[in-house]
Structure 1
Amino acid sequence: MEYRKFGRTGFKVSPLCMGTMQFGWSLNEADSHRILSATFDAGINFFDTADIYSKWVDGNPGGVSETYIGNWLKQNKIPRDQVVLATKVRGEMGKGPNDEGLSRGHIMNAVEASLRRLQTDYLDLYQSHWTDDSTPIEETMQAFDDLVRQGKVRYVGASNYAAWELMQALWTSDKLNLVRYDSLQPHYNLIYRDEFERELRDVCKAYEIAVIPYSPLAGGFLTGKYRRNEPLPESRRAEGRKRAMTEKNFSLLYEIESIGLRHKASISQVALAWMLSDSVITSPIIGATSIEQLQENLGALDVHLMDDEIATLNKLTAWKTDED
């Protein structure tokens, strides 16, 4: 396993990160532990979660994914310094007026709750899940700075930030001599490129910000599980893929499959290999629900696309027009 530098820092993470949104949603605790163990045994040291996972499931109060990970660490006696734990703060974790957001009060309460659930005394990466317009960015970054100085957090990052919001945070940290965001978690994949590439990519490159994209397989569309003229499976996730069902995207799947045949690789492996070929990308976040799916995703690390293949995929998914 070749580990990658985490942005401008000296920290090292695996080239794939295991996302855990599925824990407590489509996976029970025992199966989640099996996925975590297989991931760790394969050399993946980077695990991403959030305090709200998976609060949208009936009967799930949030914090379930963190709890599963904490139990796995304890039960398997995993050396804490051998795993990189990343979680997020921002979402609603209670009914009180201060049970959500990026205020100092909520951040300080939320980090203690996450530490308890994860059964650890520090987080490697603590991330703003999305922005909070009701809280000054100075207050948010000061709270993060205090957590780093207290040793409860090693690095801080942002998720779902626009370029101007990320720059505002960077400027604030620089002006006030506070800890800064060293990572960005954007929504990014072959069929959803413009949000990240329009401005965020240049910011991350210029400021040496680690990029850990979520949904690199477009919620399963870039696995080939959805096909032209075939009915969608009856599931909440499948319903969410309807917008991807275009002739352009189905033509893309055909080309990816053709490239995959030359490399003896699956559609998902080619889609991940395309992302991994970009030096700005640090570690795409995968989300396996089975050992077989995990092994397939890991296989992307052995797929090295040719320049002309990358160019073909870029052309087929280009979002820029002559006016851009």
Structure 2
Amino acid sequence: MKYSVLGRTGMRVSRIALGTATFGVAPDPQDAGRMVGAALDLGINFIDTADVYGNMPVFDRPGAPPAAERQPAEEILGRALRGRRDGVVIATKSNGIVGHGVNDRGLSRKHIIDQVETSLRRLQTDHIDLYYAHDVDTDTRPEQTLAAYDDLIRQGKIRYVGLSNYPAWRVTRALWIADDRRLASAPMAAQVKYNLIDRAAERELASACGEFGLSIIPYAPLHGGLLADLKVLDREVSGDERFGAPGFPEREISLAHEVDRLAREWGLAPYQLALAWLLARPAVASVIVGPETVGELRANATAADMELEPWQLEALTALAVEPPTFHHRAGDGPAKPHANGTATR
């Protein structure tokens, strides 16, 4: 396993990170524990989770217990890491809806502090290595969010801050605020959906991260399995269908066929091409894979040591079309004025 320095932290993370979004569904809790052990054996020291992973209704699928009967992914991970926490870089997040109360989401000081304590308890640890703002919260000013993170860093409860699904201008603004106020909470990483099919991150975010020294941590590097193996199309649930979204459009399937063709021509597997290409992109430090079996994890891990030839990288890059704008899950429009006329964002 190869390692990269995460942003400006000096901390090294494995080039392949284990994602836990579907822990408790696929793999089930027992198999998830075995997967964590297999990841550590492979040299993977970077594990990504969130306070809403695992037991959200959006993850429901046939054959799995309903959301109300599932444990949070953080809890499953904490149990799996019992006695093996040292040396593991844990990333988790908050902002998603975690209850029925009006303050059970967001990036306010109240919600962040509440959720950090919840995550620490579930993960059975005294600190979180990388703590992400999970999507933009347009109701909370970033100054408040970063100040809360700064306090938590000084208390030793979190080590570093990241931003998930943030456009480049918001990342830059967060860096400016942290620098202007001498906060320890300047973001060190940007997590975003990024793969051969979805290259929106290259429009502005990649350049901003490269300029300011942040690492890009892509999720969905195999586009829901489509870039791993075309057999995924035969599964009952695949791609974003795992999260309640529609299946793959035809243009994405066509591109995946091209990746499969090149893989066979070069004597490699499609997932190796997709992951190795992404790991070669500027500012990318590690990619988050979401395997459902230990076998898939071991296969994906082989890409960490691969280095494609420049002509191979160029051939893969030429397959994809860079989208015109950056799309993300949170609303992000023009600044809304307060009653006193000042902008809220």
- TM-score surpassing 0.5? yes
Match of 1:65? 73
1:82-101 matches, within 5 Å, as 82-101=87-106
Identity of aligned residues (%): 40
Match of 2:237? 235
Aligned pair partner of 1:149 in 154, 164, 169: 154
Root mean square deviation of aligned Cα:
2.0
Query: What secondary structure is seen at the aligned counterpart in 2 of 1:218?
Result: coil
Tell me how far apart the structure 1 counterparts of residues 175 and 285 of structure 2 sit (CA, whole Å). 19
Question: What is the CA-CA distance between 1:279 and the residue it aligns to?
Answer: 3.8
Letter in 2 for 1:187: K
Report whether the alignment pairs 1:190 with 2:193.
Answer: no
Report whether the alignment pairs 1:119 with 2:124.
Answer: yes
Query: What secondary structure is seen at the aligned counterpart in 2 of 1:221?
Result: coil
Q: How many residues align?
A: 312
Query: What secondary structure is seen at the aligned counterpart in 2 of 1:82?
Result: coil
Tell me how far apart the structure 2 counterparts of residues 305 and 143 of structure 1 sit (CA, whole Å). 42
Query: What secondary structure is seen at the aligned counterpart in 2 of 1:126?
Result: strand
Match of 1:310? 313
What does the per-residue CA deviation read over 1:173-204, in whole Å, with 9 as the maximum and x for residues that have no partner?
1111112110000111101002x011001100
Question: What is the CA-CA distance between 1:251 and the residue it aligns to?
Answer: 4.3
Report whether the alignment pairs 1:177 with 2:182.
Answer: yes
* Range with greater deviation from structure 2 (306-315 or 44-53): 306-315
Question: What is the CA-CA distance between 1:262 and the residue it aligns to?
Answer: 5.1
Match of 1:214? 219
* Range with greater deviation from structure 2 (60-69 or 156-165): 60-69
Query: What secondary structure is seen at the aligned counterpart in 1 of 2:92?
Result: strand
Match of 1:301? 304
- In structure 2, stretches of 5+ residues that fail to align are 61-65, 325-345
Measured at CA, do residues 23 and 188 of structure 1 come closer, stay the same or move farther in structure 2, by a change above 3 Å? same
Tell me how far apart the structure 2 counterparts of residues 109 and 219 of structure 1 sit (CA, whole Å). 32
Tell me how far apart the structure 2 counterparts of residues 114 and 181 of structure 1 sit (CA, whole Å). 20
Query: What secondary structure is seen at the aligned counterpart in 2 of 1:36?
Result: helix
What does the per-residue CA deviation read over 1:13-49, in whole Å, with 9 as the maximum and x for residues that have no partner?
0001000011012222110001000000000000000
Tell me how far apart the structure 2 counterparts of residues 237 and 251 of structure 1 sit (CA, whole Å). 15
Aligned pair partner of 2:249 in 239, 244, 248: 244
TM-score (structure 2 length as normaliser):
0.85
Question: What is the CA-CA distance between 1:171 and the residue it aligns to?
Answer: 1.2
Q: Which has the higher helix share?
A: 1
The answer (yes or no) to whether the contact 2:134–2:163 under 8 Å persists in 1 is: yes
Tell me how far apart the structure 2 counterparts of residues 263 and 11 of structure 1 sit (CA, whole Å). 35
Report whether the alignment pairs 1:264 with 2:272.
Answer: no
Letter in 2 for 1:99: D
What does the per-residue CA deviation read over 1:198-241, in whole Å, with 9 as the maximum and x for residues that have no partner?
100110000110111000000111123358xxx75433647546
Match of 1:52? 52
Question: What is the CA-CA distance between 1:164 and the residue it aligns to?
Answer: 1.4
Tell me how far apart the structure 1 counterparts of residues 305 and 214 of structure 2 sit (CA, whole Å). 25
Tell me how far apart the structure 2 counterparts of residues 220 and 233 of structure 1 sit (CA, whole Å). 10
The answer (yes or no) to whether the contact 2:128–2:157 under 8 Å persists in 1 is: yes
Tell me how far apart the structure 2 counterparts of residues 9 and 211 of structure 1 sit (CA, whole Å). 13
The answer (yes or no) to whether the contact 1:62–1:93 under 8 Å persists in 2 is: no
Report whether the alignment pairs 1:22 with 2:26.
Answer: no
Tell me how far apart the structure 2 counterparts of residues 110 and 261 of structure 1 sit (CA, whole Å). 46
TM-score (structure 1 length as normaliser):
0.90
Question: What is the CA-CA distance between 1:242 and the residue it aligns to?
Answer: 3.1
The answer (yes or no) to whether the contact 2:225–2:238 under 8 Å persists in 1 is: no
The answer (yes or no) to whether the contact 1:63–1:117 under 8 Å persists in 2 is: no
